[in-house]
Amino acid sequence: MDDRFKFNEHVAEILERLRREPSLRGWVLTAPTRALATLRVSLDDDQLVELLEQIEAMDQRSMHVTAREVMTSNVITTTPESSTHEAADALVANRISGLPVREPGGRIVGILSVYDVLAKSGSTVREVMTNDVTTVSETTPITGPGRRARRQDVRWRW
């Protein structure tokens, strides 16, 4: 059992089964969020990347999994001019921990996390959001952004 997943016995069992049955690895790697949801497993972004890297490492060959294959496609966003109250309501109502902040033209200018809302004071999203955001294209290999995020010690969203 991998020590990184001791907190979740179900994930540890899945990893063990994937070690024994290599044909199932492709199913998890090609649609990880759907596969894990089917198995009733919920992981945060960092745990998901770690799990995918472990599964990929089981094979001698690397499987190409892109950000598009694991990202959420109907992303809930907010604008810099939105009130922090409206943004907090969106976070709670959708049970999410962060919202990308988009300008009217669609460009991502920041991210608003639950931490930002709780720890910073301001009446608009612009006043409390995190401005330093790194984005990746949907064709970026999933192991790339995960390693980059851990190296830079940042949180990231799909």
CATH number at residue 129: 3.10.580.10
- Give bridge partners of residue 141 from the DSSP assignment: 66
Taking CA atoms, 33 is separated from 36, 60, 78, 123, 158, in Å, by: 5, 23, 24, 35, 12
Same domain, 89 and 128: yes
Q: Which residues of the chain have pLDDT under 70?
A: 1-8, 10, 23, 59-64, 142-158
Residue 136: the pLDDT is 81
Domain span at 95: 72-137
Q: Which pLDDT belongs to residue 77?
A: 95
**pLDDT of amino acid 5:** 58
Question: Are 58 and 106 members of one domain?
Answer: no
Per-residue pLDDT at 121: 92
H runs (alpha helix) in 21-155: 25-30, 32-38, 45-58, 67-70, 84-93, 114-119, 125-128, 143-152
Backbone φ and ψ for 113, nearest 5 degrees, come out as -105, 165
| Model confidence pLDDT, tens digit, residues 3-20 | 565 556 767 777 777 777
**Which pLDDT does position 74 carry in this prediction?**
84
The whole-number pLDDT of residue 154 equals: 47
Does residue 78 form part of some domain? yes
Query: Does the predicted TM-score (pTM) go above 0.85?
Result: no
